[in-house]
């Protein structure tokens, strides 16, 4: 059974979606790690319905630098010996300490290489692009710059609002991320 570690920072909707769709039939989620003690995604990880997923909190604010944080994060991840690490809303810019030691994928809410960074949904919505969508890519030292593994898109409607656009993005995320994880794990 292949093992994955999931990193997240907030509500954990993609985290919980991955657990519900893949654990334990496709892979074992050996740990969910967050950089925020108050991350809402921690809620429910110990319930029977989610099969008691182990969680760890490693707060970035406790470290003097990004490199110091990433050093401890790498050690923590490696202690679980995962086949793959999945960034699912992990809102940290990672250093080479992480990228050179961890095989990871990231979910990004835009069609890369356009609209990199934390405001991707808003930028994509506000752009003249006729399509919106999402990307799953390998994590590299360049922010949202790793090789794209998979993408899904939709045609923007003329009466599109930021709310409807965001909802479409989220729906695609819940489909594409588990599909991509499954494909990668079967190739390993």
3-state secondary structure of 63: coil
Q: How far apart are CA 43 and CA 53, in angstroms?
A: 11
3-state secondary structure of 107: strand
Task: Name the β-bridge partners of 106.
Answer: 87, 137
Q: Where are the strands (E) in 9-82, listed by range?
A: 28-34, 55-57
Please confirm, yes or no, whether 137 is among the known catalytic residues. no
Coarse DSSP helix, strand, coil percentages of the chain, rounded to the nearest 5 percent: 35, 20, 40
In this structure, are residues 124 and 114 in contact, taking their beta carbons and an 8 Å threshold?
Answer: yes
Of 59, 53, 57, residue with least CA distance to 18:
53
Please identify which of the residues 16, 23, 60, 108 carries the catalytic annotation: 108
In this structure, are residues 70 and 104 in contact, taking their beta carbons and an 8 Å threshold?
Answer: no
3-state secondary structure of 22: helix
Other Cβ atoms within 10 Å of 141 Cβ, number? 13
- Catalytic positions are 108
């Amino acid at each position: 059974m292949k093992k994955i570690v999931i990193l997240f920072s907030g509500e954990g909707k993609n985290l919980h979606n991955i657990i519900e769709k893949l654990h334990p039939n496709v892979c074992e989620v050996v740990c969910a790690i967050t950089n925020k003690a108050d991350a809402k995604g921690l809620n429910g990880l110990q319930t029977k319905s989610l099969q008691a997923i182990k969680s760890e909190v490693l707060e970035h604010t406790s470290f003097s630098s990004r490199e110091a944080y990433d050093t401890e994060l790498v050690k923590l991840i490696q202690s679980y010996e995962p086949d793959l690490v999945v960034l699912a809303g992990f809102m940290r810019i990672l250093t080479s300490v992480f990228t050179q030691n961890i095989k990871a994928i990231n979910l990004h809410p835009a069609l890369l290489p356009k609209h990199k960074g934390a405001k991707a949904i808003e930028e994509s919505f506000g752009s003249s692009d006729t399509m919106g969508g999402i990307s799953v890519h390998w994590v590299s030292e360049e922010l949202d710059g790793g090789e794209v593994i998979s993408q899904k898109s939709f045609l923007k409607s003329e009466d599109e609002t930021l709310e409807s656009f965001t909802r479409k993005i989220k729906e695609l995320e819940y489909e594409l991320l588990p599909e991509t994880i499954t494909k990668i794990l079967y190739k390993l």
